[in-house]
């Protein structure tokens, strides 16, 4: 694939991601969006925070091992010269230019206010109703949660490792349902755990971008 075509495709992906993030930001300002964001933010507690470094360490360790397996390091975003998740906007196409840090910082600024909404959408898709599912369906949903990230461009091995996070969020959901006997309350609880996890990941990316720009 020629460099010019690769660059066109890369900026097309970045444009699409930018539109998605703007859409998420707008929804976070709607009445329904503000309600969900407020419910998640007000629900954050120490029980959501302390497991996240351990969870993230486990995901990174497993992902690092899996991408060493032939074929599992492939991802369409990395094939285009992208780095990590395309939602972070880091790519070889912008390397050495001012866009190298402007695009990721802009994407992060758009993403942060809508983090609870993106997490809520995934929790409704992969966790809500899990109290009625057989163990096999729960396992399938956990695996699907990880692998859907391969569709958005991250390497297959990394997507598989994200199933660890899916298993944790499933456990959080089921624990909350046992306590509250409410799908909504359980979904908000797992969404809160998911949001805190994603929030730490965004903070780490922002620190890496900042350090790279300074150094």
Res 148 pLDDT > 80? yes
Confidence (pLDDT) at 75:
93
CA distance 4 to 11: 11
pLDDT confidence bin for 118, thresholds 50/70/90:
very high
Res 7 pLDDT > 70? yes
Q: Taking residues 75-94, report their average pLDDT.
A: 86
Q: Taking residues 90-105, report their average pLDDT.
A: 85
In order, the DSSP letters of 30-77 are SHHHHHHHHHHHHH--HHHHTHHHHHHHHHHHHHHHHTTSTTTT--HH
Res 1 pLDDT > 60? no
Q: Check: CB of residue 192 under 8 Å from CB of residue 44.
A: yes
Res 186 pLDDT > 90? yes
Q: Residue 149 burial by CB count (10 A; 0-12/13-18/19+): exposed, middle or buried?
A: buried
pLDDT over 70 percentage in the chain: 97
- pLDDT per position as a tens digit, 14-62: 899 999 999 999 999 999 999 999 999 999 999 999 999 999 999 999 9
Torsion of CA 121, 126, 131, 136, to 10 degrees: 180
Q: Which two tokens stand for residue 42?
A: 């007000």
- CA-to-CA separations, 163 to 5, 22, 150, 167, in angstroms, rounded: 33, 27, 11, 6
């Amino acid at each position: 694939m020629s460099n010019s075509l690769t660059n066109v495709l890369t900026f097309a992906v970045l444009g699409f991601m930018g539109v998605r993030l703007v859409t998420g930001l707008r929804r976070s300002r709607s009445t329904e969006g503000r309600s969900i964001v407020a419910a998640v933010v007000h629900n954050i507690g120490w029980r959501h925070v302390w497991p996240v470094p351990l969870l993230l360490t486990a995901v990174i360790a497993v992902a690092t091992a899996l991408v060493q397996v032939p074929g599992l390091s492939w991802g369409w975003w990395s094939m285009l010269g992208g780095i990590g998740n395309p939602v972070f906007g880091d790519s070889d196409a912008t390397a050495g230019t001012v866009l190298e840090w402007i695009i990721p910082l802009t994407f992060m600024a758009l993403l942060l206010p809508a983090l609870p909404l993106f997490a809520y959408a995934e929790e409704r898709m992969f966790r809500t109703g899990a109290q009625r599912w057989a163990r096999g369906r729960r396992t399938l949903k956990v695996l699907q949660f990880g692998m859907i990230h391969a569709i958005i461009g991250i390497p297959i091995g990394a997507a598989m490792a994200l199933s660890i996070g899916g298993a944790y969020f499933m456990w959080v959901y089921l624990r909350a349902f046992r306590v509250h006997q409410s799908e909504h309350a359980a979904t908000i609880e797992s969404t809160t755990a998911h949001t805190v996890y994603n929030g730490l990941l965004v903070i780490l990316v922002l620190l890496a971008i900042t350090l790279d720009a300074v150094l």
